[in-house]
């Protein structure tokens, strides 16, 4: 009897998961239009401050800054602030060597108290910046030429916080494809939720807000002790206080690309760092969604062990795996068409079973008081 109930529960959970993915894709298709894709407003463009927090980013910081400086945006209306978070490599020296008066280097080590971390870096940049609108990105990102004009259009329509898409830069191989599929799916969820008027996620690699709105929300207060979450916790405050001030910027010129983690080991620690903030989420919808996905992945993984002792569950377990893989494939195929690269789908049959195990493993570890090192810094 118990085994039968477990089989039914697993099948229902897999079916519900497939239904949720279908709903997300349907919401994107119906609601994520491009109302901001009209011709750029050539008058009254705001002064923009681009913040690039960086710690040990010598490998990519120059290319990131060059992409920002090459924007189709008036030179006099752009300032770029790179905030060096106690780098131990040549990041600061490379920024200093750039001969462009639009670029400023701000070192956290020069600030009284010598604060550390990404939130401290962003806060220092916000305090230093003169712009009427702030755009944040990461030091390993590349932005297309129309990126800042897209943000300016959103601001011209009255939005005070703008979410925008991120994609993994394409390169062949399972490691990059795994990350590309994961990020594409996340972006589809981000855009669909935002378009429905109830944003769930944001990505600090492509994020914008006005300084006054940031201050009105209380900035990073309350979450400044966490290693990540500068984007998501700020978004949750905005959704709770003024959801109408937010929009998702779905236009091709707003899509930035970021580098994939170079090794499976670095990917694991990166995702564990991201997952560590989940216990502080306040949005019940996001918590429920992530809990359901974790429960399904845990059931599918543990079910493989259970099937060894109770072969009778094999049929239900196989059916549940097939339902999940089928739902993932159609969802990610659509996501890759919108905000990714369809070439990643070649690796789908290898990537998605690994992703199921990843959700179970990292989701479990994120609940434990584990300490690890990220870029030479101890993180809890």
Dump pLDDT digits (tens) for 268-327.
988 988 887 776 667 788 888 899 999 999 999 999 988 888 888 889 999 999 999 999
The Cα 59–Cα 94 span in angstroms is 10
CATH for 92: 3.90.550.10
Q: What is the residue-averaged pLDDT of the chain?
A: 90
Same-domain check for residues 248 and 299: no
Over 80: is that where the pLDDT of 169 sits? yes
Closest CA to 230 of 359, 370, 117, 125: 117
Over 90: is that where the pLDDT of 223 sits? no
Q: What are phi and psi of 166, to 5 degrees?
A: -130, 145
Over 50: is that where the pLDDT of 367 sits? yes
Over 90: is that where the pLDDT of 245 sits? yes
Q: Which residue has the tokens 């620690």?
A: 269
Same-domain check for residues 129 and 253: yes
Same-domain check for residues 116 and 17: no
pLDDT at 380: 62
pLDDT at 34: 47
Same-domain check for residues 187 and 288: no
Mean pLDDT within 79-86: 97
Q: What are phi and psi of 273, to 5 degrees?
A: -65, -40
From 241, 260, 276, the end of a domain falls on: 276
Same-domain check for residues 254 and 355: no
From 276, 306, 341, the end of a domain falls on: 276
Over 70: is that where the pLDDT of 226 sits? no
Same-domain check for residues 245 and 319: no
Over 60: is that where the pLDDT of 342 sits? yes
Over 50: is that where the pLDDT of 39 sits? no
The Cα 211–Cα 217 span in angstroms is 10
Same-domain check for residues 135 and 215: yes
Residue, of 32 and 70, whose pLDDT is higher: 70
Total-model pTM = 0.91
pLDDT at 38: 47
Q: Which helix (H) or strand (E) holds 275?
A: helix 264-275
């Amino acid at each position: 009897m118990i085994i039968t109930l477990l089989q039914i529960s697993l099948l229902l959970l897999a079916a519900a998961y497939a239904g949720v993915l279908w709903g997300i894709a349907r919401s994107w298709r119906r609601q994520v239009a491009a109302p901001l894709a009209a011709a750029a407003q050539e008058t009254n463009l705001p002064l923009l401050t681009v913040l690039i927090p960086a710690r040990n980013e010598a490998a990519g910081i120059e290319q990131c800054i060059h992409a920002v400086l090459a924007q189709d945006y008036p030179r006099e209306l752009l300032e770029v602030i790179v905030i060096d978070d106690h780098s131990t490599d040549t990041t600061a020296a490379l920024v200093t060597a750039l001969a462009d008066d639009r670029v400023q280097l701000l070192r956290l080590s020069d600030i009284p108290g010598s604060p550390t971390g990404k939130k401290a870096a962003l806060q220092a940049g916000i305090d230093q910046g003169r712009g009427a609108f702030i755009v944040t990105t990461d030091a390993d990102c590349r932005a297309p030429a129309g990126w800042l004009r897209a943000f300016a259009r959103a601001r011209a329509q009255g939005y005070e916080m703008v979410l925008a898409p991120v994609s993994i830069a394409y390169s062949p191989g399972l490691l990059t494809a795994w990350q590309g599929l994961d990020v594409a799916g996340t972006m589809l969820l981000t855009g669909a939720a935002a378009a429905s008027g109830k944003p769930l996620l944001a990505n600090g690699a492509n994020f914008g807000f006005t300084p006054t709105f940031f201050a009105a929300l209380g900035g990073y207060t309350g979450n400044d002790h966490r290693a990540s979450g500068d984007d998501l916790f700020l978004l949750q405050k905005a959704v709770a206080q003024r959801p109408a001030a937010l929009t998702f910027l779905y236009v091709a010129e707003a899509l930035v690309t970021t580098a994939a983690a170079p090794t499976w080991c670095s990917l694991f620690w990166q995702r564990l760092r991201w997952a560590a903030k989940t216990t502080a989420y306040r949005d019940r919808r996001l918590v429920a969604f992530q809990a359901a996905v974790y429960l399904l992945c845990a059931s599918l993984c543990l079910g493989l062990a259970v099937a060894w002792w109770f072969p009778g569950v094999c049929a239900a377990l196989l059916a549940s795996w097939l339902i999940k893989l089928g739902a993932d494939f159609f969802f990610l195929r659509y996501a890759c068409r919108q905000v990714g690269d369809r070439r990643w789908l070649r690796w789908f049959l290898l990537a998605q079973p690994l992703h199921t195990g990843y959700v179970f493993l990292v989701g479990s570890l994120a609940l434990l008081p584990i300490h690890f090192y990220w870029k030479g810094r101890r993180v809890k």
